Amino acid sequence: MVRRAGDPPPRILYGVIELQHLTKRYGGTLAVDDLSFAVAPGHVTGFLGPNGAGKSTTMRLILGLDAPTSGQALVNGRRYTSFRKPLREVGALLDASAVHGGRSAYNHLLCMARANGIGLKRVVQVLEQVGLASVARKRVGGISLGMKQRLGIASALLGNPGVLMFDEPVNGLDPDGVRWIRDLLRSLAAEGRTILLSSHLMSAMALTAERIVIIGRGRLITEATVAELTARHRSLEDAYMALTSGSLEYGAA
């Protein structure tokens, strides 16, 4: 395609998350059940399901934190555990509280950066990007939940990865913070990155995501655009409630 003067620059398309017949059992509990879907670059994909549907387990399987019973999860056609410097490939926020409380935000990011061949300049950049520059030297144990969420987002962004995963990133954020993360995720997707976002806040999801994946009892219920779901129902929340009405709490999160 020929670009003309004044045309916007082409977006850089990054990698794809692919789940292929992914299954995970914990003893007698089937947490993820033959789950297959793909998350493509260039938009935010919302990941929805009732409590215990298997969303967090699925994200842990993608990140190699748990091993699948069968099937596989791939990022850019590879298993996460095969990346030598994984933060340059995939950034993730799963649990903002999983940080050593005695470290400062700066030192937390610095340790991650050194392990992944990332320079000091980038640590300073992401602290400024998420609004933590003024508290960068404070111990993480003494900052608010909202600030911990911002630190988790900074950790995900640290390696400037093409694939990003967020599990409930707006927990503890005030309305300004919720708008900020919404705008951030949409801008990252507009750059061509692959974004997978799990959240229970339907109003925020409807304003942030373009595509939606819904699971229940560890199985895929539907993949669709927000526009397709809201065309058949009054709102994304109504669509979600109708589609998950038969899904009860099930196994792992």
pLDDT tens, position by position, 60-98? 999 999 999 999 999 999 999 999 999 999 999 998 778
Q: Are residues 167 and 239 in the same domain?
A: yes
Task: Provide the pLDDT for residue 14.
Answer: 65
Task: Provide the pLDDT for residue 127.
Answer: 97
Distance CA 119, CA 122 (A): 6
Q: Are residues 201 and 242 in the same domain?
A: yes
Q: Are residues 234 and 121 in the same domain?
A: no
Please indicate, yes or no, if residue 203 is contained in any of the structural domains: yes
Please indicate, yes or no, if residue 7 is contained in any of the structural domains: no
CATH label of the domain that carries residue 189: 3.40.50.300
Out of 160, 188, 210, pick the residue that ends a domain: 160
Task: Provide the pLDDT for residue 136.
Answer: 94
For 20-40, what is the mean pLDDT?
96
Q: Are residues 102 and 117 in the same domain?
A: yes
Distance CA 197, CA 212 (A): 9
Task: Provide the pLDDT for residue 130.
Answer: 95
With a cut of 80, say whether residue 2 has pLDDT above it. Answer: no
DSSP bridge partners of 25: 30
With a cut of 70, say whether residue 251 has pLDDT above it. Answer: no
For 216-223, what is the mean pLDDT?
95
CA–centroid distance for 1 within its chain? 32
Please indicate, yes or no, if residue 3 is contained in any of the structural domains: no
For 94-114, what is the mean pLDDT?
90
- Do β-strands 44-48 and 163-167 pair in parallel, antiparallel, or remain unpaired? unpaired
Q: Are residues 183 and 249 in the same domain?
A: yes
Q: Name the residue with higher pLDDT: 122 or 174.
A: 122
Q: Are residues 251 and 185 in the same domain?
A: yes
Number of domains in the chain: 2
Please indicate, yes or no, if residue 149 is contained in any of the structural domains: yes
Distance CA 14, CA 110 (A): 25
Q: In what order do the strands lie in the sheet with 29-39?
A: 29-39, 17-26, 70-75
Instruction: For the chain, give the percent of residues with pLDDT over 70.
Output: 92
Task: Provide the pLDDT for residue 12.
Answer: 53
Q: Are residues 103 and 83 in the same domain?
A: no
Distance CA 63, CA 233 (A): 34
Q: Are residues 151 and 193 in the same domain?
A: no
With a cut of 50, say whether residue 252 has pLDDT above it. Answer: no
31 within 8 A of 179, measured Cβ to Cβ = no
Long-range pairs of 168-175 with CB within 8 A, sequence gap ≥ 24: 168/198, 168/199, 168/200, 169/93, 169/197, 169/199, 170/199, 170/201, 170/204, 171/96, 171/145, 172/96, 172/144, 172/145, 172/146, 172/148, 173/146, 173/149, 174/146
Q: Are residues 83 and 42 in the same domain?
A: yes
182 within 8 A of 201, measured Cβ to Cβ = no
User: Residue 137 belongs to what domain range?
Assistant: 97-160
Q: Are residues 155 and 166 in the same domain?
A: no
Please indicate, yes or no, if residue 140 is contained in any of the structural domains: yes
CB-count burial class (<10 Å; 0-12, 13-18, 19+) for 109: buried
Distance CA 87, CA 158 (A): 7
Asked whether the whole model's pTM tops 0.85, one would answer yes
